[in-house]
Amino acid sequence: MANIGKEDDIDRFYLSWEKIEEMCQKIASEINKKNIKIDKIIAISRGGLIPGRILSSLLRNKNLSTIRVTFYTKPGVAKDKPHLAEDLSTDITDKTVLIVDDVVESGKTLSLTYNYLKERGAKKIYTAALFDKHVDGKEKLTSPDFFCEKISNKWIVYPWEKFDEE
């Protein structure tokens, strides 16, 4: 279940745990239908951690690693460009990898991560996010290969952000 709220002139879209699980099941189903064999799942920290973990179970793939990219400073406020804050600690040479994030808005985080993993020797890279987001007036570099829903002009609030400070 999701609901919409408005605070501080930012429209917010609130998600439940059940909705997150349903979205991850849809992504896993799409990947399985295409018979894609994923060697490693790379979750982008922090937003992609929980979807990445859920997909790891659904895809029966325990090879889950993380990479940390920083971009947003608070809801609706981003830096000029994303920054690779923590390196990948596993070898992906000649591997098929799945990058997982919670949302792709500008595509900058996804592009940075994709290019970084390509440089590290990944053979094939797929991308997944719960949402493919459009914001009026913003250019988008790329969209995920797999996603559940398109959303526009709302700040998505995930259940794991309940205790975050703004």
Higher-confidence residue of 119 and 86: namely 119
Beta pairing, strands 40-45 & 64-74: parallel
Beta strands across the sheet bearing 77-86: 77-86, 64-74, 40-45, 96-104, 124-134, 146-152
Domains of the chain, first to last: 24-149 (3.40.50.2020)
* 105-144 pLDDT tens trace: 889 999 999 999 999 999 999 999 999 998 777 778 899 9
Q: Which two tokens stand for residue 99?
A: 């990058």
Q: What is the pLDDT of residues 31-51, one digit of tens each?
A: 999 999 999 999 999 899 999
